Chains A and B, each alone.
Chain A
Amino acid sequence: MSSSGASAGAPPVGEPNHLRRFLTIWIVATLIALPLVIFVLGPELPPGHGSEQATGHVTDNTVLLAMGTPVLLLVTIYLLYAVFAFRQPRGGVLEGPAVRGHQGLQTAWIVITSTLVLSLAAYATVRLLGDEGAGSGSGPTPLTVPPGKKLPVQVIAQQWAFTYRYPTYGGVETTHLELPVDQMVELHVTSLDVIHSFWAYQLGVKADANPGVDNVAFVEPTKIQTFEVHCAELCGIWHGGMFDHGHVVSAADFETWIHQQQVTFAPATKALPKYSKTYLPEPTRRGE
């Protein structure tokens, strides 16, 4: 910026050094805002700390907000400054300086924004491929898989409810989702009719359910709590009603619960189709 001020000629006597003033305001504002964003707002950011993935998203959101804050302040303070400092006097017909650009500043801007953007993309990629990014639907064969033993759970979406199958527990199908705490879970999301999206807000998980597709996402719940399950893709009239609660419970409680489910649903489990990654439905078309 500094050379831009110089190129506009030496300021007339009495004219303040606008550039220095503006930069001071911006730097001070940034120095005040950044710690607030990082240390006060950051920890409160959604989606909370329900899982390793959710915690990861809180960090990501904080990083993005911390990078965005100086930019937000730069442009808004600049606009306000310019609006108040550089006015046409009422009814005046003064002309501004005929400055058509500034090579150095333009180059600097390109270099700085490109660097910012490239580092954001690099950061996002690293996070996506790590365990923190594993809560997003990653297709049938995710590029990276968290190490260790995983509990497979299938999420089956249909108009207008989610059901859940536990293949390692005899393929029992339950009407709500219960997960053991501190255990990496491997979610297999699929649909029987239209596109839905499985969204467990507090767990930082979202994965689309497409018919005939096995969409995998990983989550490791870290907190015993009740969480919300929403559908996040428009799927017809009761889309808004595709809402439910799930529970993260202790490992022991989970075992009790799942065995109870196995008993309760034993007859139903027999009648179900064999567990499979996808259930390609007959095309259910209108009028049938």
Chain B
Amino acid sequence: MSTTTVSTTPKSARPLWRRLIGFNLLSAVILGIGGYYLGWWIGHLVSEGKSFEYTGATNENDAALLLAYFGGVIGFLIGLGFANYPVSRMLGRPASLREKEEEGIGRYFGLCTDHKVVGIQYLCGIGLFFFVGGLNAMLIRTELLQSNPTFVGPNQYLSLVGEHGTMMMGMMTSGILGPFANYFVPIMIGARRMAFPRIEALTFWLLMAAGFILTSTIFFGGFPTGWTGYEPLNDQAVMGMDSYICFFALVGLSMALLGLNMLATIITMRAPGLSWSRLPIFVWSVFATSVLMVLAAPMLVATLLMAALDRTIGTSFFIPGGGGSSYLFQNLFWFFGHPEVYILALPAFGIVLELLPVFTRKPLWGYRLAVSGMLGVSLLSFFVWQHHLFVSGINADLRPFYMLSTEIISVPTGFIFLCVMGTLWKARTSFSVPMLFCLGWAFNFLIGGLSGVFLSDTPSDTDTHGSFFVMAHFHYTIMGGLIFTFFAAIYYWVPKMVGLNFNEKLAKTHFWLMFVSFNSTFLPLFVLGMEGMPRRVSFYEPKFHALNVWVSVSAFVLGFSMLIFLFNTVYSLIFVRERAAQNPWRSKSLEWQVPTPVPVNNFEQIPVFDADPYDYGTPLAVGPAQPAGAGG
């Protein structure tokens, strides 16, 4: 990276007002607002009086809102300084931008190309929106305390469900790759940076812009479609729907770029000696996830573009009466949507398999099996999307194929379980907090996976599709899977990232409360679904009332367990500030061998690998030599 610094005055010497001018978050917000109103104005200009579909009667202008969001995002990115580099290069100048302040808290609030800064930015940014999504869930569960919508009403209820689901899906897709892969993949593979540092920063700021756009949907009436955005309901909906479209399109863009960056980094920037068969398993999971991101996310962006055109200039991609098809949207959406759910699952596999050897003091059992499991899952996940449409009547003759492909996916997923079990056998397990969360994953994902067998079987799915059973199933795989490992990763790696320890008592309380209340929230939902309660409803029959109250109360406890985590974070990282040891878990992986805090360039000298990082355990004194099939 060329970094030619322009200013010679040290930053701190300049007066405050001078420091506020320039490319920073403040300018970004100001330019963002400016861009927003510019877009809004242009939108009205072009559609006023024209035959644009909806403007007249309803006083709504989708074109204006979409252009406003577009203008806002562009202004925001320019304000942050994303245009500086391309523009100055186009003008033939050397890049004159500081993109990497060497120290100071300021670099966390702007465009920074240090992958470690971006990792921490991601962690805080995603954490914020995870919290917003969680609050929505609490409101949803409050409404469901009664069998009639008396708390927020049916319209608000649907908006809450949609916002919760969309926020969670959009944000948590990058929940592990954003913070932890950005931070640790370069270090684990012995590189000094990511392949495309500016794109890395861009993916983060796109995601933040998207988050605020989705939150803004409340000003435009919300949206009624849930996270799936099915047409033609989508086309009917008020302007709040445009927030969904814009949010998910930006998330898709961010996801595709993030995946691309990871692939380029992992393929081209490994240190000498780090052959594919020595790659840490977490890096493999990032690789498999990235393949999915790069191939699936553009599909989402294209689909949403079509939806936006339908809503603004009156095309009919998805409008049956105009030659389009409601099936088309479902098909396109799930062609993205199914890989998406594995984008959420694979990083969790990576975290668990990466952490287990450290806490069991054993090498990873069945390295090659685990790798083929992950690659198998990512390949197969492109062949199953119509299992979401078993009763829809689309390509009904192909259902046996989709049942087969869906059920086959459980074979590579089973590999991961075998590796987990193999690693645990005769281990020397210590039950530190990250390990507890990994074990929580194993149980939750097992339930999630086994309930998936019912959904993949068409006759059985006839009863469960569209019911709370599905809700329970995917919360087990995502909340119980991804989010548990997200916390495992936080407790495991944050001490390296910020150099401070968490309070262990509070962390253990967090785990136990979360594990118990999670199961007590979502296990009864299987029963509710099986007994015929549809999802996304704020009305339900009185016979479901008692169980719903139980679920809601458990959900509040679950929400409270998150507050314990929040409290722990503030208490330990801001007030107590106990220094973390350089390698508290006695890990053999490279990221723990570098000093804390990690130096800006990671390594003074690029390391050379001569083994994989799972060299734990005492070699056997007796017994046969180990057969192949393991890594090494």
- By a beta-carbon cutoff of 8 Å, the part of chain A in contact with chain B is 4, 6-10, 18, 45-47, 53, 56-57, 60-61, 64, 67-68, 71-72, 75-76, 78-79, 82-83, 86-88, 92-106, 109-110, 113-114, 117-118, 120-121, 124-125, 127-129, 132-133, 135-140, 142-143, 189, 193-195, 197, 199, 201, 204-208, 210-213, 215-216, 228, 230-241, 243, 280-288
Contacts and interface: CB of A to CB of B under 8 A. Distances in A.
Listed from nearest, the 5 A-B pairs whose CB atoms lie closest are A100-B630, A240-B537, A98-B617, A232-B466, A283-B321
Interface string B155-186: 10010000000000000000000000000000
B540 A240 contact: yes
A232 to B, nearest CB: 3
Contacts of A231: 534
Given A113-B414, A114-B411, A234 B158 contact: yes
Contact of A97 (B57, B392, B399, B617): B617
A82 B532 contact: no
* Residue among B155, B325, B395, B453 facing the most chain A CB atoms (10 A cut-off): B453
B309 interface: no
Nearest to B395: A139
B442 interface: yes
B88 interface: no
B39 interface: no
Given A101-B422, A103-B629, A136 B154 contact: no
Contacts of A137: 391-393, 396
22 contacts: A4-B425, A47-B463, A57-B459, A79-B443, A82-B427, A86-B360, A86-B429, A97-B620, A100-B367, A101-B631, A102-B422, A109-B418, A110-B415, A113-B411, A124-B407, A124-B460, A143-B396, A232-B466, A237-B158, A283-B321, A286-B60, A286-B235
A138 B462 CA distance: 11
B627 A101 contact: yes
- Which residue of A45, A206, A282 has the most chain B CB atoms within 10 A of its CB atom? A206
Interface in B410-466: 410-411, 414-415, 417-418, 421-422, 424-431, 439, 442-443, 446-447, 450, 453-454, 456-463, 465-466
Interface stretch (B223-231, B244-252, B479-487): B223-231
Nearest to B234: A194
Interface in B315-349: 316, 319-322, 325-327, 330
Interface centre among A7, A53, A92 (most CB of B within 10 A): A7
A135 B458 CA distance: 10
Given A98-B617, A234-B536, A239-B536, A88 B391 contact: no
A93 B466 contact: no
Contacts of B155: 237
Contact residues of A: prevailing secondary structure = mixed
Nearest to B530: A46
Given A9-B622, A137-B391, A239-B536, A71 B450 contact: yes
B218 interface: no
Interface stretch (B48-56, B67-75, B188-196, B600-608): B48-56
B410 A199 contact: no
Given A120-B407, A283-B322, A287-B57, A79 B442 contact: yes
B410 A97 contact: no
Nearest to B402: A121
Given A86-B428, A235-B233, A207 B399 contact: no
B362 interface: yes
Interface of B: 53-58, 60, 149, 154-155, 158, 224-226, 228, 230-233, 235-238, 314, 316, 319-322, 325-327, 330, 360-369, 389-397, 399-400, 403-404, 407-408, 410-411, 414-415, 417-418, 421-422, 424-431, 439, 442-443, 446-447, 450, 453-454, 456-463, 465-467, 530-532, 534, 536-541, 586, 614-624, 626-632
Contacts of B365: 99-101
A241 B539 contact: yes
Contacts of A128: 399-400, 403, 458-459
Contacts of B417: 75
Contact of B236 (A8, A93, A236, A243): A236
A76 B403 contact: no
Given A6-B623, A285-B54, 15 more contacts: A88-B361, A94-B428, A97-B617, A124-B457, A136-B461, A136-B462, A137-B392, A194-B232, A210-B393, A211-B320, A234-B226, A235-B233, A240-B149, A285-B235, A287-B56
A103 to B, nearest CB: 4
Contacts of A92: 428, 430
Nearest to A107: B629
Contacts of A280: 320-321
A106 B371 CA distance: 13
B462 A98 contact: no
Contact of A124 (B231, B459, B537): B459
Contact of A103 (B235, B314, B627): B627
Contacts of A83: 424, 429, 431, 439
A121 B407 contact: yes
A106 B428 contact: no
B416 to A, nearest CB: 11
B626 A99 contact: yes
A207 B321 contact: no
A277 to B, nearest CB: 12
Given A113-B414, A121-B407, A237 B622 contact: no
A233 B314 CA distance: 25
B232 A211 contact: yes
A164 B397 CA distance: 26
A125 B403 contact: yes
Contacts of A61: 454, 460, 463
Contacts of B530: 45-46
Contacts of B541: 228, 243
A9 B394 contact: no
B224 A234 contact: yes
B274 to A, nearest CB: 18
A6 B56 CA distance: 79
Nearest to A98: B617
Nearest to A235: B233
Given A98-B616, A101-B630, A82 B54 contact: no
B390 A136 contact: yes
Contacts of B418: 105-106, 109
B457 A75 contact: no
Nearest to A130: B459
B501 to A, nearest CB: 17
A6 B620 CA distance: 12
A4 B228 CA distance: 46
Contacts of B540: 240
B515 to A, nearest CB: 13
